[in-house]
Homo-oligomer: A and B are copies of this chain.
Amino acid sequence: MAKTGPRLHAGGAGQRELNAALSGREPDHGSLAALLRQSGLKLTPQRHLICQLIENSDGHPTAEELYESATAVMPSMSLKTVYTTLNDLAALNAIRLVNVGTGGFRVESNLEPHGHLVCRMCGTIMDIPVNPAIEEELAVPPEIEFEVEQREVTLRGLCRSCASKQGEGAGA
């Protein structure tokens, strides 16, 4: 699942490739890139690309997945930069980094309250709606004195394709 090959790129040649890949470079307001800049961080091509990849990703990419997509466009991108940018975005509350126990966190760009379906075979995450009434029910017994900041609902099991794969496997 994780590529561990050599990461030896000649440094310093990222700008050109990026411009070729990105038509316009103005950070639309409300975008992750715009958020980065507004918060005083420099909007480097690397960060801009990572923000775009997150916004265009359908699901919940891992750092490694983003890194692979990024290097396709900007071969000089380093994995460390991906991590740093993700942590920066998370610190700004622009994304969340969720750890669903599948090894490595995943980027969560949907900040609306919702739950997660996690496939224990392929690690895929899907968002599911959670009845707001439930959220309220999830209260802490008063004697515990715990400051709740975040509520998580996670359902684990098998996604459709993994369930069918497993069915086949058992049959054969």
Binding site for B on A (CB under 8 A): 98-101, 105, 115, 117, 119-120, 126, 128-131, 133-134, 137-138, 140-141, 144-160, 163
- Besides A149-B157, A151-B153, A153-B153, 16 more A-B contacts (Cβ < 8 Å) are A99-B101, A115-B138, A117-B146, A126-B146, A128-B140, A130-B138, A134-B137, A138-B153, A140-B155, A145-B160, A148-B157, A149-B158, A151-B155, A152-B153, A152-B156, A154-B154
CB-based contact A134/B138 at 8 Å:
yes
The interface centre, meaning the residue of A115, A134, A159 with most chain B CB atoms within 10 A of its CB, is A134
- A98 and B150 CA atoms in complex are apart in Å by 18
Report whether A150 and B156 are in contact in the complex, using a CB–CB cutoff of 8 Å. yes
Min CB distance, A134 to chain B, in Å?
5
Whole-angstrom CA separation of A61 from B160 in the bound complex:
34
Question: With A128-B140, A134-B134, A137-B131 known to touch, is A147 a contact of B157 (CB < 8 Å)?
Answer: yes
Contacts of A151 in B (CB 8 A): 153-156
Decide if B150 touches A152 in the complex (CB within 8 Å): no
A98 → B minimal CB distance (Å): 8
